[in-house]
Amino acid sequence: MTRPLIAVPARFSATTSALRYAAEVNARALIEAVWRAGGEPAGIHPADPADADVTERLARFDGVLLPGGGDLAPHRYGAADVHHSVYDVDDLQDAFDLEVARRTLELGMPLLAICRGLQAVNVALGGALEQDMGGPEREHRHVVHPVPIRRGTLLEQATGSEKAEASCYHHQRVDRLGAGLTVTARATDGTVEGLELTGTKGWFTAVQWHPEDTAHRDPAQQGLFDALVRAARGGR
């Protein structure tokens, strides 16, 4: 069976040892999780949406995975000040990811959004972020913790569970929800850990954690990638 083609927007990296210079990359664990699910992962270049129509670029793909990465620029969600902890902001990356989020949802293409990807979807739909969760004692970096999942959601269907062991690495979180979004999972401290969109035309779920970290040994986490690829096949 032909593998569905899954678009994965690349992340800019200042240095990579094997390539010597700046590069466009994605986490190997992420790509391998898509491959295990039966998909064909394809990195796509974050070009300026003003120069290359994102809708046309996405037309050749069967699904989209919007991965983690650095912080979104606070001005993207109307913040006048920038917290000192904000890092790795890239204006081109922001513009591209936000446009990918909007167009993928408009087209009704299957979409899985992870960590920064969840935040990008939230901002693309008019939501806002908390720039810092309160310092090292409150942030979710190098943390694995249980997250209850709301019953009857696509997230529950994909993971096959009412609770996930979430591997997290983030210091920001959703503040104001974007239009139409509903919360499908929360951490015990109230952090939004899952989002879905009411009335969307296609399969979409987003998680604040990194399922790729443990997908190789946790069927619930691999289930998210399986569900994306299954939706990209048209439910086959």
Residues near 54 by Cβ (< 8 Å), separated by ≥ 6? 96, 99, 100, 103
Bridge partners (DSSP) of residue 169 are 141
Distance CA 165, CA 61 (A): 30
Note the helical H segments in 14-85: 28-36, 54-58
Task: Give all strands of the β-sheet with 40-44 in edge-to-edge order.
Answer: 40-44, 5-9, 63-66, 111-114, 204-207, 192-197, 181-186
Choose, from 75, 137, 212, 216, the residue flagged as catalytic: 212
Provide the angle, in degrees to the nearest 10, between the axes of the packed helices 91-107 and 116-124.
70
Asked whether 87 and 131 are in contact (CB, 8 A), the reply is no
Distance CA 157, CA 23 (A): 36
Choose, from 140, 170, 171, 210, the residue flagged as catalytic: 210
Choose, from 99, 115, 139, 156, the residue flagged as catalytic: 115
115 is catalytic: yes
Phi and psi torsions of 214, nearest 5°: -125, 5
212 is catalytic: yes
Catalytic residue list? 115, 210, 212
